[in-house]
Amino acid sequence: MSTIELNKRQETILQIVKENGPITGEHIAERLNLTRATLRPDLAILTMAGFLEARPRVGYFYSGKSGTQLLTDNLAKLYVKDYQSIPVVVNDSISVYDAICMMFLEDVGTMFVTDQQSLLVGVLSRKDLLRASIGGKDLSSIPVNIIMTRMPNIAMCTKDDQLIEVAKKLIEKQIDALPVVKETEGGFEVVGRITKTNITKALVSLATEEL
């Protein structure tokens, strides 16, 4: 899907098909005083972007879809599995001090906390760690499991979820990231993470991807 920015000729073609469709490529070319060959790339773009539909031996139809509708259609085709990152996971027994070091080392804003069975038990954000640091307590003696956000209050997603659903959850819960999980017998395994950055990347790919 390209940026839905049509050039003047493409806009004109769209107008012609809207008013005269179904219409063959030949007839569109005639109206524009152009050859069929000159027009071919424009027709291909308009068809692939979903503005026009082509039927063999009948011609081109206007699909009736607006740019916004097409964008919505394309957004719905983006899935977590294609945009997720590697999760940073820590054990629930490590100290707040070590978790802070880990956060800097791994350069992430959210870490996921797992138990001895490698199952998800909590989430640690930057502010969780900052909050624990206020008051001059000995950070190396506080385990993360007493300051983390814990199960069952964790918002999660799976690799087959739509990215748009994740985006909605991030906004609704006012958080920066979701763990991508796989359900197992005892609980949830963390297999990835989706952050606001991943969603921003998806947005950019939607706007620049070649047809």
Contact residues toward ligand ADP (CB under 6 A) are 109-110, 123, 125-128, 149, 153-155, 174-178
Q: Which long-range contacts (CB under 8 A, 24 or more apart) does 147-151 make?
A: 147/96, 148/92, 148/113, 148/121, 148/122, 148/123, 148/124, 149/122, 149/123, 149/124, 149/125, 150/121, 150/122, 151/120, 151/121, 151/122, 151/187
Q: Nearer Cβ to ligand ADP, position 116 or 153?
A: 153
Q: Nearer Cβ to ligand ADP, position 67 or 109?
A: 109
Give least dist CB 128 to ligand ADP, A.
5
Give least dist CB 111 to ligand ADP, A.
10
In 3D space, the residue among 147, 146, 150, 96 whose CA is nearest the CA of residue 119 turns out to be: 150
Give least dist CB 90 to ligand ADP, A.
13
Q: What DSSP letter does each residue of 91-157 carry, written as one string?
A: ETTSBHHHHHHHHHHHT-SEEEEE-TTS-EEEEEEHHHHHHHHTT---GGGSBGGGTSEETTS---B
Q: Nearer Cβ to ligand ADP, position 141 or 153?
A: 153
State the residue number with the nearest CB to ligand ADP.
127
**13, 21, 191, 193, 204 from 82: Cα distances, Å:** 34, 37, 13, 11, 14
Q: Nearer Cβ to ligand ADP, position 46 or 170?
A: 170
Give least dist CB 19 to ligand ADP, A.
51
Q: Nearer Cβ to ligand ADP, position 48 or 86?
A: 86
Rounded to the nearest 5 percent, the helix, strand and coil shares of the chain are 45, 20, 35
Give least dist CB 166 to ligand ADP, A.
10
Give least dist CB 127 to ligand ADP, A.
3
Q: Nearer Cβ to ligand ADP, position 141 or 174?
A: 174
